[in-house]
Amino acid sequence: MSSRSPAAAAAVPEARISRRPRRPLVSRLRSGAAPYLLILPACVVIGAVLGYPLYFMGHLSLEHYGLFQLIRHQGEWIGLKNYSQIFHDGFFWHVVLRSLAFTAAAVSLTMVFGTLIALLLVQLGTKMRVLVTAGLIFVWATPVVVAVAVWSWMIDFEFGVLNWLLTYLNVGNFNHHDWFASTLSGWTVITSLVVWGAIPFVTLMVYAGLTQVPKELVEAATTDGASSWRVFRDVTVPLLKPIFVILISLSIIWDFQVFNQIWLLLDGQPPPQYFTMSIYAFTTSFQQSQYGLGSAIALVMVAILLIVSFVYIREMVKIGDAE
């Protein structure tokens, strides 16, 4: 099996690794400066672009830094005051909960629909599969700025096609339906947009994984009398676990930081009920000119993200650490 596909495995199940003898190259190249020289360029780029900015952001979060200070390049040191202000702010905790709820909803919807469509692809004949794949690729290729433009055009209050269509299909009277008038329907639009844009990546990755599941295993399980659900649960899912770990981690990271979709859909002026953490950090910095406070919010956001995705990150590090 292992040598059938020449290039394989972004994520190798550990069970398989342990059976393998060590590679000769690894042992020979074990010591020396070679690996450091190899990662050096990447580290230099990341360090040059992010090193000082991250230090700057940390510093900023301990300062009172408004427009006045910005123009004079000189903040006022206030220690942890920004943080205590955040932690005592009820609205902030609302935003945190909202971001978490949105992330949970968007990630699970993306994973469920993405996987279902991938399973559907397996069932299809070649022509149908190419058609659906092509459609998915079109969606994937659509830049977020473009997607938001199209969606806001579709839900336009006066001339939007969606309101007309829903009315026409007798779903209800959607003439002049105001999608952002109620928070729930507004979030429905945002979530749909995000999930719609994220499905293709998930589907294509899961489908790629599904095609790699050995047919013999599935057949053996089926002849043993297992239902197709059990085959999926007991054979397919464990084999695809590395893929799911990566997809879920990335989805959590991306959805928790969601910004562009909400920002552009609401025309750069989202009302507080549409604030996620990154929007809160951004408006605090740029619209209220409280750069210190904004940086503190952003750093707290990173911390929360680390906590939320800890389990998955640990899995990822394990996968990455294995050879």
66 CB burial (10 A radius; 0-12, 13-18, 19+)? middle
Only segment of 85-93, 100-108, 223-231, 263-271 that touches another protein (CB under 8 A):
263-271
User: Which string of x and - marks every residue 210-229 that binds another protein (by CB under 8 A)?
Assistant: -xxxx---------------
The minimum distance between CB 138 and another protein, in angstroms, equals 5
Only segment of 82-90, 94-102, 225-233, 258-266 that touches another protein (CB under 8 A):
258-266
Q: Who contacts 257 (Cβ-Cβ below 8 Å, separation ≥6)?
A: 277, 278, 301, 305
CA distance 203 to 209: 10
Q: Among 96, 107, 190, 298, which residue sits at the site for another protein (rule: CB under 8 A)?
A: 298
CA distance 279 to 253: 15
Q: Is-contact 265 148, C-beta < 8 A?
A: yes
Q: Among 1, 15, 169, 184, which residue sits at the site for another protein (rule: CB under 8 A)?
A: 1
Only segment of 90-98, 104-112, 192-200, 222-230 that touches another protein (CB under 8 A):
192-200
Q: Which of 110, 180, 175, 181 is nearest to 151 (CA)?
A: 180
Give, as ranges, the residues between 128 and 157 that touch another protein (CB under 8 A): 128, 131-133, 135-147, 149-151, 153-154, 156-157
The minimum distance between CB 101 and another protein, in angstroms, equals 19
The minimum distance between CB 232 and another protein, in angstroms, equals 15
**5, 43, 135, 253, 318 from 280: Cα distances, Å:** 47, 30, 35, 17, 33
Give, as ranges, the residues between 226 and 255 that touch another protein (CB under 8 A): 239-240, 242-243, 249-250, 253
CA distance 322 to 242: 12
Which residue, 87 or 138, is less far from another protein as judged by CB? 138
| Number of chain residues interacting with another protein (CB under 8 A) | 138
Give, as ranges, the residues between 61 and 80 that touch another protein (CB under 8 A): 66-68, 70-73
**169 near another protein (CB under 8 A):** no
CA distance 156 to 172: 17
Give, as ranges, the residues between 82 and 111 that touch another protein (CB under 8 A): none
Q: Which of 270, 272, 277, 320 is nearest to 297 (CA)?
A: 277
148 CB burial (10 A radius; 0-12, 13-18, 19+)? buried
Does an H or E element contain 295, and which? Answer: helix 291-308
Only segment of 28-36, 80-88, 99-107, 226-234 that touches another protein (CB under 8 A):
28-36
Only segment of 80-88, 100-108, 224-232, 282-290 that touches another protein (CB under 8 A):
282-290
The minimum distance between CB 107 and another protein, in angstroms, equals 15
DSSP summary character for residue 274: G
Which residue, 191 or 309, is less far from another protein as judged by CB? 309
Does an H or E element contain 63, and which? Answer: strand 63-64
